[in-house]
Structure 1
Amino acid sequence: MFLLFPRMIYSILIKKIFYQLKRPLSKSTIRAISFLFLSSLFFLIFELSLFFPENIILKTSSGIQTPEITLIARLTRLRRITEYDWKLLHRLKSLNGRLLYVLYGPSTLGLCEWCEIETPSTFLYYTIPHVFLCYLVNLGIIYLSISVLSEKIGKLLKKLIFIILFLFFILELIMLNIYDWKSNAYINSASNINWIHWNLKKYRLFLIVTLNLSVAFIIWVINTNILYQIPNKERQLIFSINNLEESINRIRALVIMKRALIKDTFLQEQKMKFYQEKRLKELSDSMNVKDIKKKISHDNMKKILEEIENYAENLIKYMDMKK
């Protein structure tokens, strides 16, 4: 996985540079990506700090079987006890109440008026709408962001996001339902207890943030055409258009230069002077070549005539000697 990710990024960058198909993001796309980033930041800040449920058993360094008086005394030393705390502490009098506190958290035990310790399923019924609302809000955020995409891609992505969130929602409910909440009864150390309510809240937050950032990345990729695969014919057409544009730009540059030469007298004089010198040089070169050829041919003829005369004289002398 770690080896494939750099390769994927490398291939994206190569295609982006080679095909030159990156286009600027529209305002709606920037708003959608910013909305997803801000919502993720909101969930991280508020869910992990402001709205993250306080665990008074861990905060007071108590255990599941710590006496009620000791728990109240330790909490009083840390902060002032509110009316909500008294309702919660009333539910934490019994061992079953504390075990359900591990499973469902403080808000369910402290706020649910009709829930009963003797019927633990009532706490599950109270929890379901709150968990569902959390997933529903995030689904709405993602759906609003996806609206900037095309209808076909938007529908496909909406279905995928809905399935993912729905599966995790069902999975969370199944875990709350099948978890053996009495398994923590004989654990003395609070750090060894499986605080499932807080763990599920962290996992849910991680899923939401990861999903939002993934959707933001998908929107960015689609709108910049980085992964767009071009058929060969279209690729050749794009290259031809690019070459044609380059040729047109060159012709325009030449026309501008020519117009500048015609209008500017100094440049016109320099141009005429240049061509005159060039022509004179060509003429002189051609005249020199002809003179050289003539000279060479004249010298050769002289040598040939001299050789013929010498040969004739030698031949006459030879014939005279024979006589």
Structure 2
Amino acid sequence: MAISWGTIKSLLLFFGPILLPKAIGYYRSARSAPTIHGIPIRPVPSSVKRALLILFVTALAFLLRTLPAFAPENIFQLTKSRIQIPNDVLFARLNALRPGQPGLTSSDTLLRSRINSLESRLLFFQFGPDVLTNCQFCNAEDPNTYLYYFLPALLAPHLFNICVLALVTSGLFTGKDGGLWRMSATLAGGAAILLDVWITATYSYQENARATRLEDLHPFFWRMRVYRFIGLAFIDGLLGWLLYLSSTNRAFIIPATPGERIESSTKLLDNVRSKMNAMSILRNTVNRDKELRERSREYWVMEGDLMGELMEEREVVEGVNNALENRIDIRTISADAETYAENVLAPLRAMQGTTDS
């Protein structure tokens, strides 16, 4: 039996006050991690840009599939008929709505022979018209046969989306930025499959048997189709948002381990050491060659003379004096010196007074 909306609201009211503060606290700690660890924000890497484009196109395609133009035809809704309507009247209304066609299509004729009982019409609202039209082994006396035939069509968008999630979180495609969310994306895709199959398999299709008006009929197949594509688009959008935050160091930062920090420091020291070795070799080469050594000496003599001339200019001298006066407060330094001297001499004066007494 499917879970009612009242049960869902009760579960949300019970678990909401417990889980919501924890979720908010986790999000805040994830957002503040870059500031705590001193990691700067960076632009979106090119590999992540490709992944975000793929997720955007996939989510947009799923949302477009929810439009009524792409949905299978509900002949009861189209003809505004009750579920108890006779077959001849139902398809006569359907034929009247298609003036541009020579008559009922072959699919309509086949469907007409498959929904001649109330049980088959109830299954029509659970699994849609394609299952009842094309399934050759399905039997209304065993509703599970319809479920077995419907499973591939139900799983197809989920499996496609899992392939997309696997691609955008692959280490070969997005590197470490995507691999961070690979497990979470796989679990989300798997949970969506289990939830969809469970809701479809446990739906109580007999509830439509009590509907006496068209408004009372529950179009389970068409609503679940919309919820399915919206849910897949939400998973893709959420993954794209998480990828954006983590790849730009805005949130969900994993601090480097001590081993990684040691390796980074070692590489930095090796780089500095190689540059110093190169500089030492260059200096030895210059000092060993008479011509280069003479050129080096002339260069530094010329630089020294030029610096001396610049420092003797009036504007330079005045600028240096102004900078020193602005940066150094002589009065404050004198007061600090007097205070320090008094603190040092105070114990000595106290000892001298004790001795004299």
TM-score bracket relative to the smaller structure = 0.5 to 0.7
Matched, 1:76 2:69: no
Shift of 1:164: 3.0
Q: Residues 125, 229 of structure 1: CA spacing in aligned structure 2 closer, same or farther, 3 A cutoff?
A: closer
Length-normalised TM-score, structure 1:
0.65
- The aligned counterpart of 1:198 is 222
Alignment of structure 1 residues 47-66 onto 2, 5 Å: 47-66=66-85
Matched, 1:140 2:163: yes
- Check whether the contact 2:34–2:249 (CA below 8 A) recurs between aligned residues: no
CA deviation profile, 1:9-62 (whole Å, cap 9, x unmatched): 798389579946111222221010010010000111134344322211112111
Q: Residues 223, 57 of structure 1: CA spacing in aligned structure 2 closer, same or farther, 3 A cutoff?
A: same
CA–CA distance in 1 between the matches of 2:176 and 2:316? Answer: 65
- The aligned counterpart of 2:203 is 179
- The aligned counterpart of 2:140 is 117
CA–CA distance in 2 between the matches of 1:166 and 1:277? Answer: 75
Q: Residues 7, 175 of structure 1: CA spacing in aligned structure 2 closer, same or farther, 3 A cutoff?
A: closer
CA–CA distance in 1 between the matches of 2:202 and 2:49? Answer: 43
Shift of 1:218: 1.6
- The aligned counterpart of 1:243 is none
Q: Residues 37, 78 of structure 1: CA spacing in aligned structure 2 closer, same or farther, 3 A cutoff?
A: same
Alignment of structure 1 residues 272-311 onto 2, 5 Å: 272-274=313-315
Residue type of the partner of 2:247?
A: N
Q: Residues 12, 160 of structure 1: CA spacing in aligned structure 2 closer, same or farther, 3 A cutoff?
A: closer
Residue type of the partner of 1:25?
A: V
Shift of 1:114: 2.4
**Secondary structure of 1:185 counterpart:** helix
CA–CA distance in 1 between the matches of 2:54 and 2:318? Answer: 71
Query: Identity of counterpart residues, as a percentage?
Result: 27
Shift of 1:82: 2.1
Length-normalised TM-score, structure 2:
0.59
CA–CA distance in 2 between the matches of 1:277 and 1:157? Answer: 61
- The aligned counterpart of 2:61 is 42
Could you tell me which runs of 5 or more consecutive residues in structure 1 were left unpaired when the two chains were aligned. 235-258, 279-323
**Secondary structure of 1:21 counterpart:** coil
Q: Residues 51, 16 of structure 1: CA spacing in aligned structure 2 closer, same or farther, 3 A cutoff?
A: farther
Alignment of structure 1 residues 244-263 onto 2, 5 Å: none
- The aligned counterpart of 1:168 is 192
Q: Residues 274, 170 of structure 1: CA spacing in aligned structure 2 closer, same or farther, 3 A cutoff?
A: closer
Shift of 1:150: 4.3
Shift of 1:104: 0.7
- The aligned counterpart of 2:119 is 96
Matched, 1:85 2:108: yes
- Check whether the contact 1:36–1:213 (CA below 8 A) recurs between aligned residues: yes
CA-based RMSD: 3.8
Shift of 1:176: 2.8
Residue type of the partner of 1:122?
A: T
Deviates more, 1:105-114 or 1:143-152: 143-152
Q: Residues 275, 134 of structure 1: CA spacing in aligned structure 2 closer, same or farther, 3 A cutoff?
A: closer
CA–CA distance in 2 between the matches of 1:135 and 1:211? Answer: 11
- The aligned counterpart of 1:291 is none
Alignment of structure 1 residues 311-322 onto 2, 5 Å: none
Shift of 1:118: 2.9
- The aligned counterpart of 1:210 is 234
- The aligned counterpart of 1:21 is 40
CA–CA distance in 2 between the matches of 1:180 and 1:38? Answer: 35
